[in-house]
């Protein structure tokens, strides 16, 4: 009888150990299991600016951009994003009332596994995404290619990124070519290919080319060289467009260089120079885009009290190539709220 009790106690002990191990294993599995989750997207650009020239004397408070959206992670590979862009209407007729517009900036499905990333929907384009991230002050001024309409920040289409290793990646994209504000109006597409190379921990270079065929084949070439360490950020970008607006031999070139330096954890000084130029067509005295050709100077200081808020006081001036157009010096107090 005593022997039986010992066997029963031994069996109960084994069952207890097994049950404990099984429960712990189940807990480990549940902890490793992917949990679906989402996060909001809120980004707001605003400013107060005043014209320093005597000719125009313009001053105003503005909310130039508001991005509202939501990102949802379906599993460890798939995620979706919806992002609404609220801004001021552009290219309005003279004397018209300025209104705000609302567009879907991103409505995208993303797949990411190891070295491969795939996007589909209304997605960010590859033309100046890296440059914008490197510049880091979109709320002050757009990148050169964005400001002078070498392409769109987002478009409907698909893209594929592949990371060969930690230093080299390549991407290919096929887009409608109309931008995220317009529907597809024809059966042509804008096809692009790019390669990004990290030459060192701080040194990055990128080359990008795209083309779209309509009346003529319009092609865009972008080269970028950037440096970034704990304090100093520096970038040089050259953009070239051939047969701009699908007009034969109508070309333009842009150059942008900038630098920023962290004085402390919260204060940063910023400087930038841009230049845009276009060629002269046969039989025409001035360059075809002379009303928009010129040079931009930007300088200022940024204060970042917390990660989600940036405040900058900056001076901005545009010098037109056309002598009949006066330069436009402005003083800006700009804000970015990013959640």
Please state the length of the chain: 339
**pLDDT (0 to 100) of residue 63:** 92
User: What whole-number distance in Å separates Cα of residue 137 and Cα of residue 147?
Assistant: 13
In the numeric block, the tokens 């699908």 are attached to 246
Closest to 180 (Cα-Cα) out of 146, 143, 209, 223? 146
Closest to 127 (Cα-Cα) out of 235, 260, 240? 240
Domain ranges of the chain: 1-33, 34-338
For residue 115, the 8-state DSSP code is T
Cβ(232)–Cβ(261) below 8 Å: yes
Please tell me the CATH code under which domain 34-338 is placed.
2.40.160.10
Phi, psi of 246 (to 5 degrees): 65, 30
Residues 21-30 pLDDT 10s: 444 544 444 4
Task: Output the CA torsion 239→243→246→252 (10° steps).
Answer: 40
| Segments in the chain below pLDDT 50 | 1-18, 20-23, 25-30, 91-96
**pLDDT (0 to 100) of residue 182:** 79
User: What whole-number distance in Å separates Cα of residue 118 and Cα of residue 110?
Assistant: 6
Cβ(62)–Cβ(49) below 8 Å: yes
User: What whole-number distance in Å separates Cα of residue 327 and Cα of residue 76?
Assistant: 52
**pLDDT (0 to 100) of residue 25:** 45
**pLDDT (0 to 100) of residue 7:** 45
Query: pTM for this one?
Result: 0.85
């Amino acid at each position: 009888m005593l022997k039986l009790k010992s066997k029963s106690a031994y069996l109960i002990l084994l069952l207890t150990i097994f049950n404990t191990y099984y429960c712990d294993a189940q807990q480990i599995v549940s902890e490793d299991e992917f949990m679906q989750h989402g996060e909001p997207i809120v980004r707001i650009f605003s400013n107060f600016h005043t014209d320093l020239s005597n000719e125009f004397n313009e001053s105003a408070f503005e909310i130039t951009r508001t991005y509202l959206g939501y990102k949802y992670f379906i599993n460890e590979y798939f995620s979706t994003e919806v992002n609404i862009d609220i801004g001021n209407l552009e290219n309005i007729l003279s004397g018209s009332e300025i209104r705000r517009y609302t567009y879907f900036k991103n409505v995208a499905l993303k797949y990411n596994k190891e070295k491969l990333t795939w996007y589909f929907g209304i997605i960010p384009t590859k033309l100046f995404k890296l440059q914008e991230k490197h510049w880091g002050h979109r709320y002050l001024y757009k990148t050169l290619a964005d400001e002078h309409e070498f392409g769109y920040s987002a478009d409907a289409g698909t893209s594929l990124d592949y990371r060969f290793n930690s230093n080299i990646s390549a991407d290919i994209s096929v887009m409608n070519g109309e931008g995220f504000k317009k529907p597809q109006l024809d059966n042509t597409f804008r096809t692009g290919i790019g390669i990004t190379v990290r030459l060192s921990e701080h040194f990055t270079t990128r080359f990008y080319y795209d083309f779209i065929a309509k009346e003529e084949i319009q092609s865009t070439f972008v080269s970028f060289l950037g440096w970034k360490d704990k304090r100093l950020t520096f970038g040089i970008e050259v953009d070239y467009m051939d047969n701009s607006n699908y007009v034969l031999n109508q070309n333009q070139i842009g150059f942008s260089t900038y630098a920023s330096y962290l004085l402390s954890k919260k204060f940063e000084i910023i400087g930038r120079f841009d230049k845009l130029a276009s060629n002269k067509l046969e039989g025409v005295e001035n360059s075809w885009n002379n009303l928009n050709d010129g040079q931009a100077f930007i300088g200022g200081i940024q204060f970042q009290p917390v990660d989600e808020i940036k405040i900058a006081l900056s001076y901005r001036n545009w010098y037109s190539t056309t002598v009949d157009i006066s330069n436009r010096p402005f003083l800006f107090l700009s804000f970015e709220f990013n959640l």
